[in-house]
Structure 1
Amino acid sequence: MFENKQKNKKNLLVLALMGGMTCAQAEVLVILPESGPMARAASSIKLGFQSAYSASGEKEPVKFVNSDQKQLASVLKKHVTAKTKLIVGPLGRSEVDALMKAKPKLRVLTLNEGAKQAGNITQFSLSKKDDVAALKNVMEQDQVQELLVLRQPGTETEHELFLMALVAQAGLPMQVLDAYPQKLKKHQAMLLLGGNTWLNEQKLPKKQIYTLSNAIEEGQPIPLGIKFCDTPALYRGQWADMYSAYNQHPVTMPYQRLLAFGGDAWSIAQLYLQNPTAQNLAFEGRTGSIQISGNQIQRSPKCYQNTRKGVAAL
């Protein structure tokens, strides 16, 4: 993806300056696993964060700390100083819960959601419930009254949380099928849950069909007429820092979404640094429209349809 890419020489220099972001007198402490099973995801988030930070021109120093196989309480005790203004991270769900128990006094922007919430801790994630809300709105606009669900065999567990959230939010009659119906009735729609190859093997109508962003792969065909909701930075070239990060480390679309997530994490952190007491903030982010109210973040992905002229925003 990344349409309309234009090289930005200024942004291509940013990673050469990363050594200056790890000074001992850190004002922003970023906690991410640099090793272990989550390291690859964390690496993309970190790169997106760094690139957005450098493009912003912000002067607050940033310090990255490896959290893998470390107790969060120990990490905080060792690295939080009198000059630390903001904590970003951690990434693992269990680490977020551990951070809650540690009760840091500083403002925190976590990069996942935990089991509880706290007044000074804001939880930011690429949550399934945000994807559900966006797709539900599209279905409402299309006046869908019944949803038929077809899943690629073997992926049922992968999509279970999404379906549960959709049932809870949409309030539509829903049937999970074993095979595609010969014909869709009026006001019926089909949700297809599976990979790109499987999706393109189906004989589909040209309307009232939906899928998830994980079925969209770079350079691979998308069924005509299908609708989905995804990270806008993959389809709009307005974020030069995203191109800079991708140019430094080309990755597949799942990790491109994490580059965008890291960039938005920096944008939120910058807003907190500039507006320490603000309770209501909003901006158009790389991962969607971001609304911040108190310690709550609502992310609204953008939705698209594949047309004969290509992928078009709804």
Structure 2
Amino acid sequence: MTPSTFFLRSRPPALALGLALAVSACGGVATRSTPAEVVYSPATTQAAELARSGAVLTGQARIDNAHQIRQLLSQLDDATLAREAAALPAGDPLYTYMGEALMARGLPLPRPFDHAAWTFDANGRPPADGDGYRPPVKLALLLPLSGDMAVAASPVRDGFLAGYYAEHRRRPEVSFYDTTGSIAGTLSAYDRAVAEGNDFIVGPLDRAAVDAIFARGALPVSMLALNAGTESPPPGNASFALAPEDEGRAAADFLLRRNAKRVLVVAGGDDSQQRAVNALRTRLEENGGTVTDVAGEGIADLTPFATREGGVDAVFLAVRGASARELVPKLSLAGLAGKPRVATSQLLSGTGDAEKDRVLDGIAFPTETWTARGARGLPMASTTAELLPTARGPAAKLFAFGHDAWSLSAYMERLVTVADASLPGATGTLRVDGFGNVLRTPTWATFISGVVMPLPDGSDRP
């Protein structure tokens, strides 16, 4: 199939014109000692050995190896972690993990991650502006424009175009390639995009298709995948996702910052809820915490879980709003009403009646910056929803996601070459770690008198 190409300096199509109207409304390198002058801690020494051996591992062995490394690094205090990360020689595989740990703790990186494999200079891309804006010359957007995933692709596409038309500086020529929602269609679309001279690729959306592309290894054109699977991005590529795992990790970080390490989980049984729970558990364990129990959402009495030896510091709810309303009185009867309570964004599902939702007051959950506070380059979510069906209701999250995909494509060089660089996005504050993962720090919200409000201290800033 021939891609639909928009030469976006000409008059935009009707959809793009509507979006255009809708949106009209550097860290330095730290001085460090040479490796010979540093005596590394035992945990760092062991982690370094695992990092070197992990380069040849695959599958579950690689995942387990990384888990061990993170557990070892969690034993280091902030000063030791920062000092020993700065002392690592360039190219040391442990630096990627130590940098990840520094970012998770909100500590500065001593130097950027390795970026040699990125293709930022292809097609004679002009130099970056002072704020780091350096978009591609020709950009390919790989989306399922037909097939079962086309409905999900529509808000992503429209959010991308909204961000695109809100930018008045140089913009790339954009080509849309239909992946048809299949692996074969995605691989074919990627190959056509490369052959037709695109110097950056955004997409695809399907997890299996992302894995299929990343499994190829080194790629001729850098890409920002719009999902995360089991394959890590090859060097010079990145992965951006709104995955349940992200919310589980974000919830764990939220609780760990409040010194809540023993967490009782109440969860439903669907795949996304279980993935969030597993990610929460892993992040807690990597930082000295634990999930004390996992109770089903239909549990009648939570008292036995609340009175377990060692106690409970906090509660994590991976349930929808209706289930949460039934669980809150049970938490109170079990003596857990005063504990921090954190949920996934599924808490919003089935809410909207302030009288019924008052029972949810005080439960913190991650949400998009755009819908909670507003975002640069976009009108308020309520205004946009009046103009565009693809920005209404649950689709608003995907619209914000598409907007951030555009922003990442334009600022990716700064994010991977400047230590501690971040980008304020519609879905949260965005950063890129040494593994090529886009890290999203969400805005935190809660219910106040049954109405969703951003937490005063729940900023999306790391």
TM-score band by shorter chain is 0.7 to 0.9
The answer as to 2:428 corresponding to 1:288 is yes
Aligned amino acid, residue 107 of structure 1 = S
Superposition RMSD on alpha carbons, in Å?
A: 3.0
CA distance in 1, matches of 2:365, 2:394: 15
Post-superposition, which runs of at least 4 consecutive aligned residues in structure 1 deviate over 6 A?
A: none
> What secondary structure does 1:219 align onto?
coil
1:174 equivalent in alignment to 2:174: no
For 2:264 and 2:165, the matched residues in 1 are separated by 46
Superposition pairs of residues 66-85 of structure 1, within 5 angstroms: 66-68=178-180, 69=182, 70-81=184-195, 83-85=197-199
Q: Which residue of 2 aligns with 1:16?
A: 17
> What is the TM-score with the length of structure 1 in the denominator?
0.81
Between the aligned partners of 1:297 and 1:278, the Cα distance in structure 2 is 14
- Counterpart of 1:197, as a letter, is A
Please tell me whether residue 39 in structure 1 is matched to residue 150 in structure 2.
Answer: yes
The runs of 5 or more residues in structure 1 that have no matched partner are 1-12, 19-25
- Partner residue, 2:244: 128
Q: Say which SS state the counterpart of residue 290 (structure 1) adopts.
A: strand
Q: Which has the higher helix share?
A: 2
Deviations 1:219-261 (A, max 9, x none): 3444111111222212112345364753312555432111111
- Measured in 2, the distance between the counterparts of 1:133 and 1:15 equals 36
Is the counterpart of residue 160 in structure 1 residue 274 in structure 2?
A: yes
What secondary structure, in the 3-state scheme, does the structure 1 residue paired with 2:260 have?
A: coil
What residue in structure 2 maps to residue 219 of structure 1? 352
Q: Separation in 1 of the partners of 2:197 and 2:390?
A: 35
- 1:270: which partner in 2? 410
Task: String of CA shifts for 1:20-62, please: whole Å, max 9, x gaps.
Answer: xxxxxx8100000012222111111111111011111242111
State whether residues 373 and 454 of structure 2, in contact with CA within 8 Å, keep that contact through their aligned partners in structure 1: no
* Residue aligned with 1:191, SS: strand
State the distance in 2 between where 1:125 and 1:213 align.
15
Instruction: Report Cα offsets for 1:121-144 as digits up to 9, x if no partner.
Output: 211111333322321122224433
Contact 1:289 1:299 in 2 (8 A): yes
Counterpart residue type for residue 15 of structure 1:
A
Hey, which of these two has a bigger chunk of strand by percent? 1
Instruction: Letter of the 2:177 partner, please give it.
Output: V
Determine if contact 2:443/2:454 at 8 Å carries over to the other structure: no
Q: Which residue of 1 aligns with 2:211?
A: 97
The answer to whether the 8 Å contact 2:416/2:432 transfers is: no
Instruction: Mark the CA change 1:252 to 1:82 in structure 2 (over 3 Å): closer, same or farther.
Output: closer
2:175 and 2:384 mapped to 1: Cα distance? 19
Residues 127 and 109 (structure 1), Cα distance of their counterparts in 2 relative to 1, 3 Å cut: same
CA distance in 2, matches of 1:158, 1:310: 22
Distance 1:210 1:100, change over 3 A: closer
Partner residue of 2:114?
none
Task: Select between 211-220 and 283-292 the one with higher mean Cα deviation.
Answer: 211-220
Q: Which moved more, 1:192-201 or 1:245-254?
A: 245-254
Give the aligned partner of residue 172 of structure 2: 60
Residue 159 of structure 1 aligns to a residue whose secondary structure is: helix
Q: What is the number of residues matched between the two proteins?
A: 293
Q: Please state if 1:235 is matched with 2:372.
A: yes
Structure 2's unaligned 5+ residue stretches are 1-13, 20-136
* Separation (CA, whole Å) in 1 of partners of 2:223 and 2:194: 12
Distance 1:224 1:38, change over 3 A: same
Deviations 1:59-82 (A, max 9, x none): 211111111145334323333346
Amino acid across the alignment from 1:77: D
Comparing both chains, which one has the higher relative contact order based on Cα–Cα distances under 8 Å and sequence gaps of 6 or more? 1
